[in-house]
């Protein structure tokens, strides 16, 4: 299936800032299950954009804005051909006693996924009768469906799994990280997926998150614990990591005392082969004004400290 994806990110600042630096993970990955046919990225104020591949194979774009500005606009547009095979959970083997190789990194706890008492208590509630990894995934999914509710705005992008387990609610980011924690407790390497989910009958989509787990002889396989399904051709992978902290759509710093407001919008649509546009690796600019000196209407001093971005997109 061919999907066109448009991701807009808009930052508004309460006063002028300068020396912004930002890192983006919004370009879909090239994987055996999806082909990136075309990609376009535009930044405003106009900036030089650099790209590199991080240690997990994710494409990262960076840019900086030295002059004074009070908003930043980002537009990412991609065309992806998704061709996921149907999973056969019965083929997922029993996991061996030891894990060798780079997959060991995905057994480690840290960041928002801690080996906490809350996680251990949740794991203890789940039946452990499964003889295969496929059965185990089903048992964990059913327990999450029974114990947790999907509720927007009850957690934040930097919430730990303990918070979601305490209130028994959260969004896809929380669901993914809780399943990862349970799998790691059981010796199954698991990683976090940042991506998009195409929703039928509307062009309004979501920045979504799900899980990949390691199966001997098959490699990384995926499961969406929020929707309790194996991913379909509606799921588009952008980046993978140990947890959300490895793969946020945006993060950065700026100099100033302004408060920051972030708005993000994702739209997807199914397209035909005739609609594919050759825009791979194209960069553009969005006209947002910058100033070499602080405009007279600025209300606060801009000789302030460097501030980490207060806002990141929580994946829904």
User: What SS3 state is found at 83?
Assistant: coil
Same domain, 26 and 168: no
* Structural domain includes residue 313: no
Total domains in the chain come to: 2
Write the DSSP symbol of residue 283: E
Domain holding 23, by residue range, is 2-82+248-308
Q: Is residue 161 within 8 Å of 112, Cβ to Cβ? A: yes
Residue 231, pLDDT > 90, answer yes
Query: Other C-beta atoms within 10 Å of 23: how many?
Result: 17
Residue among 26, 33, 53, 13 at smallest CA distance from 230? 33
User: What SS3 state is found at 39?
Assistant: strand
Same domain, 122 and 236: yes
Residue among 62, 63, 64, 67 at smallest CA distance from 18? 67
pLDDT tens digits for range 263-304: 999 999 999 988 887 665 567 778 887 888 777 655 544 445
Cα–Cα distance, 139 to 142 (Å, whole number): 5
| CATH number of the domain within which 186 lies | 3.10.620.30
pLDDT tens digits for range 155-190: 988 899 999 999 999 999 999 999 999 999 999 999
Out of 211, 246, 281, pick the residue that ends a domain: 246
Same domain, 143 and 281: no
Same domain, 95 and 236: yes
Same domain, 118 and 196: yes
Cα–Cα distance, 187 to 216 (Å, whole number): 13
Residue 254, pLDDT > 60, answer yes
Q: Which residues contact 258 (CB under 8 A, 6 or more apart)?
A: 13, 14, 15, 16, 17, 70, 300
pLDDT tens digits for range 44-80: 999 999 999 999 999 999 999 999 999 999 999 999 9
Same domain, 229 and 206: yes
């Amino acid at each position: 299936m061919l999907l066109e994806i448009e991701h807009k990110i808009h930052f508004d600042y309460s006063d002028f800032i300068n020396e912004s630096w930002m890192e983006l993970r919004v370009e879909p990955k090239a994987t055996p299950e999806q082909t990136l046919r075309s990609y376009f990225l535009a930044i405003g104020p106009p900036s030089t954009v650099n790209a590199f591949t991080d240690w997990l194979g994710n494409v990262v774009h960076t840019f900086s804005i030295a002059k004074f500005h009070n908003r930043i606009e980002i537009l990412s547009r991609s065309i992806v051909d998704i061709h996921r095979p149907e999973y056969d959970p019965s083929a997922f083997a029993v996991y061996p006693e030891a894990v060798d190789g780079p997959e060991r990194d995905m057994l480690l706890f840290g960041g928002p996924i801690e080996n906490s008492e809350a996680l251990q208590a949740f794991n203890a509630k789940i039946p452990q009768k499964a003889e295969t990894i496929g059965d185990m995934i089903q048992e964990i999914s059913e327990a999450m469906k029974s114990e947790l509710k999907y509720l927007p705005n009850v957690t934040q992008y930097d919430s730990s799994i303990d918070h979601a387990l305490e209130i028994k609610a959260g969004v896809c980011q929380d669901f993914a990280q809780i399943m990862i924690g349970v799998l790691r407790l059981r010796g199954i390497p698991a990683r976090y997926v940042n991506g998009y989910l195409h929703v039928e009958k509307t062009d309004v989509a979501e920045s979504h998150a799900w899980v990949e787990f390691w199966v001997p002889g098959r490699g990384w396989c995926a499961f969406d614990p929020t929707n309790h399904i194996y991913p379909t051709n509606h799921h588009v992978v952008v980046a993978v990591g140990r947890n959300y902290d490895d793969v946020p759509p945006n993060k950065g710093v700026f100099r100033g005392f302004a408060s920051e407001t972030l708005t993000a919008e994702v739209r997807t649509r199914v397209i035909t082969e005739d609609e594919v546009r050759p825009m791979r690796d194209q960069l553009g600019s969005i006209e947002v004004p910058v100033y070499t000196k602080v405009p007279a209407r600025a209300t606060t001093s801009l000789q302030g400290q460097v501030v980490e971005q207060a806002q990141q997109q929580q994946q829904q």
